[in-house]
Chains A and B, each alone.
Chain A
Amino acid sequence: MEASVFEGIKLDYFAILIQFIVAAGFVSATFFLSHIVGPKRKGEQKLQSFECGLDSIGSARLPFSVKYFLAAILFVLFDIEIIFFYPWAINFRELGIGGLIKMIIFIAPFLLGYFYVIKKGALQWD
């Protein structure tokens, strides 16, 4: 008796499976067919990168100073650290001295890293 109930449920889910297959099949088939059957033109001008109708100048792959990246990534790092300070600051009294010690353990590696960054001169612009 129970087995037939489970069978019924399986059959119900089978319809959903078919629906997923049809949905995925329809999407992939239309994408594929529109690429194969659809009209296309491939000229030299057509395939140029779009620069609002102007000729593009130079390459987009230009090297630029790593200083920008360093400033940005260090900002992100310490910014996220500050986010973790907020819940601690709100529950400062409840967490007490234990919380303070845990935060010091959390901050210490960051502080170490911070001194390393300063000593290395990563934030000196010139």
Chain B
Amino acid sequence: MGLNTIKQPGSPEMYVGEGFGLTQMEKVIGLARANSIWPLPFATSCCGIEFMATMAATYDLGRFGAERLSFSPRQADLLMVMGTIAKKMGPVLKQVYTQMAEPKWVIAVGACASSGGIFDTYSVLQGIDKVIPVDVYVPGCPPPPEAILDGILKIQELIKHEPIRRRQSEEYNQLLQSYNID
């Protein structure tokens, strides 16, 4: 018996004995959440095509527990914004984010979603973080499936290490209030 680190990547530190292991609730919940993400694809342009490749056989996002895409925000954990978001689309995106169930994460895939990309014009939102909080940015125009997978892995790391009370915290409330999300 003793404090062992199990040699599987991604598993939390455990107090391991004969046929049992003890760890913290926070770590177990983080592990469960990180490996059962239900993404909501919000694909508006070419990054969405790369996302299709990411979901398909060669790259297979299902390997990371994100097999089940959700097209209703009610059952989604991860909002994947892929593509140029016009300013008219901004409120729609914000509404979709607002209607997602807690806890929720956002990944901005591609230059357009992250910063407006090459479309430095009157009509394009200069990054979706103008309307909703973003957790991970994936660069590229469009990013290859490997980059999107890397973004998902980064999201998984965030989820694993999120404090269990974060969503009830004052800090989180202030973050949402700064975006006028109730």
Contact = CB atoms under 8 A, between A and B. Distances in A.
A52 interface: yes
B41 to A, nearest CB: 13
B4 interface: no
A50 B102 contact: no
Interface in A36-52: 38-41, 43-46, 48, 50, 52
B175 interface: no
Interface string A43-65: 11110101011100000000000
Interface in B64-112: 72-74, 91-96, 98-99, 102-103
Nearest to A38: B102
Contacts of B73: 50
Contacts of A41: 102, 176, 182
Interface in B155-182: 167-168, 176, 181-182
B116 to A, nearest CB: 20
Interface residues of A, number: 13
Nearest to A40: B102
Nearest to A39: B167
A54 B182 contact: no
B103 A39 contact: yes
A53 B93 contact: yes
- Interface centre among A39, A44, A52, by most chain B C-beta atoms within 10 angstroms, is A39
A46 B92 contact: no
B97 to A, nearest CB: 9
Nearest to B182: A43
A44 B92 CA distance: 15
B75 to A, nearest CB: 11
B96 A53 contact: yes
Contacts of A50: 72-74, 99
A46 B95 CA distance: 8
Nearest to B169: A39
Interface of B: 72-74, 91-96, 98-99, 102-103, 167-168, 176, 181-182
Interface of A: 38-41, 43-46, 48, 50, 52-54
